């Protein structure tokens, strides 16, 4: 029987469409999907060709027939951020304790790359995907979550139903940063953010901006947000411009240690004393922040707790939990010399 083309959209493709296109039974497709004993190479080639042509992705039911592979995909925005490395290590250790192996993919702040990575993890029959700091939209995550269990860190979308989120309470963290600056006697407290461009509302930077604005408003102050160029661009010139402005604030809350640590270094280069001339507060409490020559006051998200909690939540989803979980982990301030 000759192969027949089925006119369907990728979102509607089912195992029956694959069987029809390949000219075989649904049972035969199922055997190929679960790698059953006795499947001929001819049948496997025919079915896999139809799967690729129709962009079919097996449903959770089909995955269940194959059985678990005891592998988890970890998709992270980058590996250059030492704070993210701490999350990955904690998550990986938890997965290992539960008998799972993890494979890491890097999204590079690009939604198409992230989508492609998730599809590859599905195609490789992984049992679940842990995503850290995605650029991909909640709508796309929703679609993939119908095919594979997903838990997401640093993605604020507490009304999602098909996947789970685990976050630092970023609004609270920003409020803690402002409150700490005020407690140290600083009244002119600005925020150093970045150009959000087309960033989704789920990103942590936007949550931290909301927390900052709430805190300065509550204190009766006029806050201001100064924006650096977008993420993944060179910020050296922008940091110099900030430090040499005529209306330099007395204190600045920086959206992440990724910019707060270079800001301290740049300030010292320009002869600006920290904290005597400019108090600086970061976010992440990354390993660099604790170095004596840096001494950065920073909001601690607790990378260990984020990673372990996310792994545990994901595995409970793999085990069959259906109701969504949205976990907020309370941050704290780690005070150092940059605000004393």
Strands 189-194 and 225-228, bridge-based pairing: parallel
**Long-range contacts, 153-159 (Cβ 8 Å, 24+):** 153/87, 153/306, 153/307, 153/310, 154/203, 154/204, 155/131, 155/202, 155/203, 156/201, 156/202, 156/203, 156/204, 156/207, 157/202, 158/326
Round to whole Å and give the CA distance between 254 and 263.
Answer: 9
pLDDT confidence of residue 7: 45
Number of separate helices (H) and strands (E) present in the chain:
12, 12
Q: SS3 of 268, please? A: helix
CA distance 287 to 290: 6
The C-alpha atoms of residue 205 and residue 220 are separated, in whole angstroms, by 23
Buried b (16+ CB within 10 A) or exposed e, 35-44: eeeeeeeebe
Rounded Cα gap, residues 88 and 75, in angstroms: 10
Task: Kindly state the average pLDDT of the residues 22-31.
Answer: 87
Of the pLDDT bands very low, low, confident and very high (cuts 50, 70, 90), residue 198 is confident
Lowest mean pLDDT segment, chosen from 14-18, 31-35, 264-268 = 31-35
What value does the mean pLDDT take over residues 183-202? 92
* Domains, the chain: 10-65 (1.10.260.40), 69-168+303-329 (3.40.50.2300), 170-301+334-339 (3.40.50.2300)
Write down the pLDDT at residue 4: 45
Region 11-38 average pLDDT: 81
Indicate if the pLDDT at residue 111 is higher than 50.
yes
The residue to which tokens 């494979």 are assigned:
103
Altogether, the residues listed in the chain come to a count of 340
As a whole number, mean pLDDT of residues 274-298 equals: 96
**Band of the pLDDT at 27, cuts 50, 70, 90?**
confident
- Of 59 and 170, which is predicted with more confidence? 170
Coil, strand or helix: which one is 91?
helix
Task: Evaluate if residue 3 carries a pLDDT over 50.
Answer: no
Residue 146 has pLDDT above 50, yes or no: yes
Q: Which residue is listed with tokens 């993210």?
A: 84
What is the average per-residue pLDDT within 303-332? 96
Inter-residue contact 162 to 324 (CB < 8 Å)? yes
Residue ranges with strand state E in 21-158: 71-76, 101-106, 128-132, 150-153
pLDDT digits (tens, 9 = 90+) for 227-264: 999 877 888 999 999 999 999 999 999 999 999 999 99
CA–CA separation, 166 vs 124, rounded Å?
Answer: 25
Across the chain, what does the average pLDDT equal? 89
């Amino acid at each position: 029987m000759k192969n027949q083309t089925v006119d369907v959209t990728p979102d509607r493709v089912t195992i029956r469409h694959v069987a029809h296109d390949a000219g075989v039974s649904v049972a035969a497709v199922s055997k190929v999907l679960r790698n059953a004993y006795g499947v001929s190479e001819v049948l496997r080639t025919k079915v896999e060709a139809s799967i690729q042509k129709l962009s079919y992705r097996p449903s959770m039911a089909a995955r269940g027939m194959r059985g678990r592979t005891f592998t988890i995909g970890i998709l992270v925005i980058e590996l250059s951020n030492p704070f993210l490395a701490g999350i990955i290590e904690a998550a990986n250790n938890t997965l290992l304790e539960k008998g799972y192996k993890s494979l890491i993919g890097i999204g590079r702040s690009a939604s198409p790359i992230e989508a492609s990575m998730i599809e590859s993890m599905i195609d490789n029959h992984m049992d679940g995907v842990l995503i850290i700091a995605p650029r991909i939209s909640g709508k796309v995550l929703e679609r993939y979550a119908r095919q594979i269990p997903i838990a997401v860190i640093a993605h604020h979308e507490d009304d999602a139903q098909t996947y789970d989120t685990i976050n630092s309470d970023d609004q609270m963290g920003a409020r803690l940063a402002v409150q700490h600056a005020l407690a140290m006697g600083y009244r002119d407290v600005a925020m150093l953010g970045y150009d959000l461009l087309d960033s989704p509302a789920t990103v942590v930077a936007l949550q931290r901006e909301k927390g900052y604005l709430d805190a300065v408003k509550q204190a009766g102050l006029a806050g201001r947000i100064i924006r650096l160029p977008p993420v993944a661009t060179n910020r050296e010139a922008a940091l110099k411009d900030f430090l040499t402005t005529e209306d330099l604030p007395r204190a600045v809350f920086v959206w992440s240690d990724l910019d707060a640590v270079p800001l301290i270094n740049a300030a010292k280069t320009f002869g600006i004393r920290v904290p005597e001339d400019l108090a600086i507060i970061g976010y992440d409490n990354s390993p660099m922040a604790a170095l004596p020559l840096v001494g950065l006051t920073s909001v601690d998200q607790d990378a260990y707790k984020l990673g372990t909690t996310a792994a545990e939540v994901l595995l409970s989803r793999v085990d069959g939990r259906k109701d969504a979980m949205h976990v907020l982990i309370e941050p704290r301030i780690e005070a150092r010399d940059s605000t004393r």
